[in-house]
Structure 1
Amino acid sequence: MSIYDFKTKVQIEKGWSSDKKYCVTAPDGKNYLLRISKIDQQERKRFEFEMMKCVEALGVPMCKPIEFGTCNEGVYFLQSWIEGKDFEDVLTMLTDTEQYVYGIEAGQILKHIHTIPVPDTQEKWEVRFNRKIERKIQMYKDCPIKYENGQSFIDYINANRYLLKNRPQSYQHGDYHIGNMMIDYDGKLQIIDFDKNDFGDPWEEFNRIVWCAQKSPFFASGMVNGYFDENVPMDFWVLLALYISSNTLSSIPWAIPFGQSEIDTMINQAKEVLEWYDNMRNPVPTWYKGYIKKDFCCGYK
């Protein structure tokens, strides 16, 4: 399929990716998602394309990889077009039970994605993530804006980073949260935007659950329970709090170039995180609803 033969090409402005994104229509009337990246991203996008094919082979409901190559504008990546709505726009219109059920499904899908192994040459997680921690702590210390009680994040990280030793690794979506999910017109959850995909500790993948919990504690609780089949180990909560602390530290330096609105968003989010975790004294967040009894069958198979 030639990317120059499409009948229509409508740019999509939404999202944080540096890719240019378009909804394109083929001569047969079928829609696709076209992503254009700079040529220096070729190997990274090739990796994304190949790994998405691995995820597709698992039967994960997702934007499917169709074609990858170079073009006049750089690197192109053609994906299937999902007819539906952004999940974060629909979520709060659902009942608490429906939110929880979709959360279970999202957790089960993520567990399936994490069955893809890492290469034998992959660096040990303890070494890699400790290096990342040091960089993020330094970024925060150098940042002119500080969180109220932000030292609690640093203290928690330093007290619990020993848990990084011997952590397993797997393939990661890289940005798994409600902002990268859709609901198709059959009501089925679909996973999109794999452009931050990577390898790492599968539990670290939950570091974006903050965005889910802010919108729907029921969805976030279901996601954790679905992933662990309602048997959540305490070590998960302790490590997740470390990963969220690390992310939160780097969020404020990240936000500064985007202006006051993003700075305020991250300051408010950090405040909420500290409330959830009682200033990092309790690793189980207050948004977690525990196991919710259901008298119906649900979930991703």
Structure 2
Amino acid sequence: MKKPNIAFLNKCISFQFIKEGFSDDEKWCVDHTYLLRLSPHGDVNKLIKQAEIVNTIHALDKHIPYVHDIGIVDGRAYMILDYIGGENGEVALPVKSEKEQYDIGSQVGKTLKRLHSVQAPAEQPNWEETWRDRVERQAPRFKEIVNKNVHYECILPFIQDNLHLLKNRPSCVQHYDFHPGNILVEDNRFTGLIDMQKITYADPINEFYKMEYFNVPISREYSKGVLNGYHDHQPIPLSFWELHRLYAAIHIVSAEVWGHEVAVNQREKFQRYTRFTLDQFEDFNLLVPKWYNK
């Protein structure tokens, strides 16, 4: 690339384009030391808010990259973070032994626990009301999908019967896009949690809403390690599974609506993951999904 007019990078020499990832950001590895993210928008204030949260959690866990600089270049907002080496988990995990996968997951779970130790500011919107509104907005569109997929009929009634579980839930820092493609692995070590653009405040248990969709299909042992490491290898409370099951159901609604209305090319994949999730919970009649007990 043409060297960008960014003072922080004036002395840097090497700029390597990074093709991986699904975000709209353009990403460059700079001198194998920094990661330059160029956003498609010029909203620098949005990046400043992200950086404040990211650097707060970096102080607690060095698996989180530090944000060094933010600004505007050529009309685009940019962020410069630590470059963390390693292979993304989608590629790295399947070739590891089951024990190695589990150990890496355990390391990741401990990082998520530290991330979740940072509480949200008091002025955050009411969590229960936010999610009730979200379900109400998406339910009519999802019902149209259910009409063509009778196996989905159990989902909305289950959600409605369990929304009361969201009452008085805590809110903390959350990555909000947790899946193996957003972790880095080098040798048999977890080296970093990346792609923090969606970082926000939310119920900590909501962090795991993509487990059955995107984590377990890559590695069940890794996924077990994540949850066990998160719970310090102590028995996982039933209250966790009650909420996880609810968030998994709500995610199905969001993913199916997205797959039918926006990401049409992903629809079949999402339907496959939906069927997998329903099977793991036996249409939400099981509290603990089958994959965890295998």
Match of 2:292 in 1: 288
Relative to structure 1, the CA distance from residue 4 to residue 18 in structure 2 (aligned partners, 3 Å threshold; closer, same or farther) is farther
Give the aligned residue type for 2:184: M
Q: Gapped runs of 5+ residues in structure 2? A: 1-6
The one of 166, 169, 187 equivalent to 1:167 is 169
The one of 248, 260, 273 equivalent to 1:269 is 273
Give the aligned residue type for 1:203: I
The one of 213, 223, 228 equivalent to 2:226 is 223
The Cα of 1:186 is off from its aligned counterpart by 7.4
Q: Gapped runs of 5+ residues in structure 1? A: 291-301
Relative to structure 1, the CA distance from residue 128 to residue 258 in structure 2 (aligned partners, 3 Å threshold; closer, same or farther) is closer
Query: Comparing 33-42 with 274-283, which one deviates more in the overlay?
Result: 33-42
Counterpart-to-counterpart distance in 2, 1:253 and 1:145: 13
| Mapped contact 1:221–1:289 kept (Cα < 8 A) | no
Counterpart-to-counterpart distance in 2, 1:222 and 1:153: 28
| Mapped contact 1:147–1:270 kept (Cα < 8 A) | no
Counterpart-to-counterpart distance in 1, 2:188 and 2:101: 16
Match of 2:29 in 1: 23
Counterpart-to-counterpart distance in 1, 2:268 and 2:11: 44
The Cα of 1:9 is off from its aligned counterpart by 2.9
Counterpart-to-counterpart distance in 2, 1:95 and 1:237: 27
Counterpart-to-counterpart distance in 1, 2:146 and 2:225: 38
Counterpart-to-counterpart distance in 1, 2:28 and 2:257: 30
State the Cα RMSD in Å: 2.0
The Cα of 1:8 is off from its aligned counterpart by 3.6
Counterpart-to-counterpart distance in 2, 1:144 and 1:95: 39
Match of 1:36 in 2: 38
Report how many residues are paired: 285
Match of 1:258 in 2: 263
| Mapped contact 1:53–1:65 kept (Cα < 8 A) | yes
Match of 1:78 in 2: 80
Match of 1:91 in 2: 93
Give the aligned residue type for 1:127: E
Give TM-score, length-normalised by structure 1. 0.88
The Cα of 1:44 is off from its aligned counterpart by 1.9
SS in 1 for 2:216: helix
The Cα of 1:37 is off from its aligned counterpart by 1.3
| Mapped contact 2:101–2:221 kept (Cα < 8 A) | yes
Relative to structure 1, the CA distance from residue 82 to residue 185 in structure 2 (aligned partners, 3 Å threshold; closer, same or farther) is farther
| Mapped contact 2:100–2:188 kept (Cα < 8 A) | no
The Cα of 1:144 is off from its aligned counterpart by 9.0
Query: Comparing 266-275 with 148-157, which one deviates more in the overlay?
Result: 148-157
Query: Comparing 165-174 with 281-290, which one deviates more in the overlay?
Result: 281-290
The Cα of 1:216 is off from its aligned counterpart by 1.2
Does 2:274 correspond to 1:248?
no
The Cα of 1:103 is off from its aligned counterpart by 1.5
**Identity among equivalent pairs (%):** 27
| Mapped contact 2:43–2:77 kept (Cα < 8 A) | yes
Does 2:17 correspond to 1:11?
yes
Give the aligned residue type for 2:27: K
Counterpart-to-counterpart distance in 1, 2:239 and 2:275: 24
Does 2:223 correspond to 1:233?
no
Match of 1:125 in 2: 127
